Structure 1
Amino acid sequence: MNDIQPFSIAVEDADLDDLRDRLARTRWSDESPADGRERGIRAAELRELADAWRSDYDWRAHEERLNRIPQFVTEIDGQRVHFLHARCDREDAPALLLTHGFPSSNVEFARLVDLLTDPSNGPAFHVVAPSLPGYGFSTPLSGAGWSMGRIADAWIELMRRLGYRRYGVHGGDIGAGVSGMVASRDPEHVVGIHVVTDPMTAASAATFIPGMADSLDASDPIDQLILERMAAFRNDASGYLAIQNTRPQTIGYGLTDSPTFLLAWIVEKLQEWTDVDLDPELILTLVSVAWFGRAGASAAHTLYDQAHSSEWGGPVTVPQSFTVFGADETVRRVMRSPEDARWVEFGNGQHFPAMELPEVLAEDVQAFFGPLR
């Protein structure tokens, strides 16, 4: 089935009423006995966001804004895939495939799509931004086995259906892994790969991706810092991953039934993995899409699938670019790259640069892919 159908977000009024009712009936826990966020998002912070979500946040306005971006759905390998597909005015512009990570969706790229499709803003592209299977409106999940390799094959098929013979790929977090696999599996069509990361993401990835930490030497100060960050991730910050990698169905009941739980689950990571304050309206839009898409449980299942997969990518032969946000000297030690790879470092921003610093990211993407046209 090669059918591609136009899609518009149209949440039922009854679903909006249900969301507000559930938020109003939240049974709140006591505040954490700790002063900071080391035990999770603080109750006062979460209450403020939940109250805004219930009373002040205008979903219809954001729904309308999102629907200004052309959206479509198709079925690939039995899975419903929702994607943004915004074409620029220049017919001969190159195509660019954007892939997000956890705990996000293609909503993350809304501002970036505007910037990258506008010829007055620099080199412009036809942008394709799918939500990963089980995320956003790429739901429900069709079944087990949606590891990064299978997603990469689906993305290659999506670009074929759209008629793009040459395209670039960009991603961070899971999206970086998927993009790398797309580039390694489809080098005759991929012109280059642009990856974003940050020091903590690189260190945490080194804890579970085979081979990344093999050459680290504890006697070297930089390597020691990486090892300390890896230990900190394992000991204090990996609980979300451990439970989703092992019992996604169990955690999924809460993520699907309680909007307050879903809000806490996502916002904790937005707080922990950014150093630029995000607009609360953007945060609530991101969480709303996960709520209305019933994506809490299904996103957890795809993390389980990757944790139980032996696929971590193959050799990439196309031009590569790595952009580090919140950069320090550690990332190059764990992210091995060819000598001719492009490296760019920015002092701020972290895990979500498309939401934290969209203008900076857009310029960097244009700088890399512009000469590859």
Structure 2
Amino acid sequence: MCQEKTPKGGRRPTPSIEPFTVSVAEEVLGDLRDRIHRTRWPQRSPAPAWQQGTDADYLRQVLAYWADDFDWRAQERRLNGFQQFRTEVDGLKIHYVQEKAVNGQGIPLVLTHGWPSSFVEYLPLVPLLTDPAAHGIDGPAFDVVIPSLPGYGFSERPDRTGVNTRYVAGLWHELMGRLGYGRYGAQGADFGSAVTTYLALDHPESLIGIHLSNLDLHPHTGPGTRPLSAAERAYLAQYRRWCSDDRGYGAIQSTRPQTLGYALNDSPAGLAAWLLEKWRAWSDCEGDIERCFSRDFLLTVVTLYWCTETITPSMRDYVDNRSHESLGPEDRVDVPTAVSVFANQFLDDGAPPREWAERTYDVRCWWPMPVGGHFAATEQPVPLARNTAAFFAGL
């Protein structure tokens, strides 16, 4: 076996940064269409539509469109309109989009998605943040970096357990340094919110500020902390009800993701049903998923998971982060923090109250948003971009 020799002085060369183009082989797409046409449909649920899972009539419509009308090559051209790269970080090939401010004076900003999402969710923010003036947004421009989480899309995942959001924060810090950004901002949602939080905890000297569109990590509420407020108690009661009624997906993904992965990696119908249910339930769509997202957008997300065979490694985020769902008593984010609180995420009454966030973060801006859900970068890109620009302008 050949091994790379370490140069004199003991330092390895910095891994190269390579341009990346999305290009799925035609045989992969042909196999996908064939599998969709051969779907073996289960018996219909006797319950009302969506009550026991993804509605059969809707899924049949989507799969027919996916097989016969969806133009993946057009989506490839759209994705390849953004500058994409891959580089090796901690032995992993990490994929990311990098678009610089049109005025050449952008604030570096790393944006991190979550599950069941991908870098595609954040693309609507790119023109708004790199050229805000052209879109009527007051504030600074940004150099935008959108990495794909390890094990999602075109980013590799380590072949080991324990690949948690704190580890990913370290990868992102190294990536931003390699791109020449000694100081930068960060923004995220879902697992991306946790990654952003750990960036601020572990590398505060490098973080200008952080902006979250949801709170993924629970604060420490043990001995020595102030009693819960009425609003916090009401929020936690709702959260527990949601966990009891709707978080079955999390239970299986945080215990037996491999078992589920065999089915989802083998069946396009199963993969689409599993993912689309979450995009519908967690968005501000009032039950009509295509009110928030075009069918082409949704199938672009699902096709990325299918063609890269990354649904199984992506679900490992749940088992690998089981011990990272709550922060410890020593975890206090002193980096300036903004939170855009989108009203219709998961729970009946929206997001947690401000005092819940202030247990962990130095909250400088708290924006209750009357509309929008869990996937804010696609659902409400303009308000999210405005908040981002306003927050960093104040810093």
The TM-score normalised by the length of structure 2 is 0.86
Do 1:115 and 1:359's aligned partners in 2 also have CA atoms closer than 8 Å?
Answer: yes
1:354 and 2:367 are equivalent in the alignment: no
The 1-side partners of 2:191 and 2:32 are apart by 29
1:335 paired residue among 351, 357, 382:
357
The 1-side partners of 2:92 and 2:39 are apart by 33
Instruction: Encode CA deviations 1:155-192: one digit per residue, 9 max, x unaligned.
Output: 00000110111211000111111001111211222100
1:150 paired residue among 152, 162, 167:
167
Deviation, 1:278, is 1.4
The 2-side partners of 1:33 and 1:217 are apart by 42
Do 2:338 and 2:363's aligned partners in 1 also have CA atoms closer than 8 Å?
Answer: no
Instruction: Give structure 2 stretches of 5+ with no counterpart.
Output: 1-13, 286-291, 345-349
Aligned to 2:235: 226
1:303 paired residue among 293, 314, 318:
318
Do 1:212 and 1:335's aligned partners in 2 also have CA atoms closer than 8 Å?
Answer: no
1:55 paired residue among 56, 68, 79:
68
Do 2:335 and 2:362's aligned partners in 1 also have CA atoms closer than 8 Å?
Answer: no
Aligned to 2:193: 176
The 2-side partners of 1:29 and 1:55 are apart by 22
Q: Structure 1 residues 49 and 331 mapped into 2: Cα distance closer, same or farther (>3 Å)?
A: farther
The TM-score normalised by the length of structure 1 is 0.91
Deviation, 1:74, is 1.4
Aligned to 2:333: 316
1:128 paired residue among 145, 148, 152:
145
Aligned to 1:87: 100
The 1-side partners of 2:351 and 2:277 are apart by 26
Deviation, 1:212, is 8.8
1:250 and 2:263 are equivalent in the alignment: no
Percent pairwise identity: 39
The 2-side partners of 1:91 and 1:315 are apart by 34
Aligned to 1:261: 270
Instruction: Encode CA deviations 1:104-131: one digit per residue, 9 max, x unaligned.
Output: 1111111111221124234321100001
Deviation, 1:154, is 0.3
Aligned to 1:367: 390
- C-alpha RMSD of matched pairs (Å): 2.3
The 1-side partners of 2:379 and 2:154 are apart by 23
Do 2:105 and 2:141's aligned partners in 1 also have CA atoms closer than 8 Å?
Answer: no
Instruction: Give structure 1 stretches of 5+ with no counterpart.
Output: none
Do 2:337 and 2:362's aligned partners in 1 also have CA atoms closer than 8 Å?
Answer: no
Do 1:216 and 1:223's aligned partners in 2 also have CA atoms closer than 8 Å?
Answer: no
Query: What is the count of residue pairs matched by the alignment?
Result: 363
Structure of larger gyration radius:
2
The 2-side partners of 1:217 and 1:188 are apart by 31
Q: Structure 1 residues 246 and 352 mapped into 2: Cα distance closer, same or farther (>3 Å)?
A: same
Higher relative contact order (CA 8 A, sep 6+): 1
Amino acid at match of 1:325: F
Aligned to 1:11: 24
Do 1:139 and 1:295's aligned partners in 2 also have CA atoms closer than 8 Å?
Answer: no
The 2-side partners of 1:329 and 1:7 are apart by 37
Do 2:111 and 2:147's aligned partners in 1 also have CA atoms closer than 8 Å?
Answer: yes
Q: Structure 1 residues 331 and 151 mapped into 2: Cα distance closer, same or farther (>3 Å)?
A: same
1:293 and 2:308 are equivalent in the alignment: yes
Do 1:30 and 1:43's aligned partners in 2 also have CA atoms closer than 8 Å?
Answer: no
Amino acid at match of 1:323: S
The 2-side partners of 1:13 and 1:188 are apart by 47
Instruction: Encode CA deviations 1:69-90: one digit per residue, 9 max, x unaligned.
Output: 0001112122221111111222
The 2-side partners of 1:37 and 1:184 are apart by 40
Amino acid at match of 1:2: P
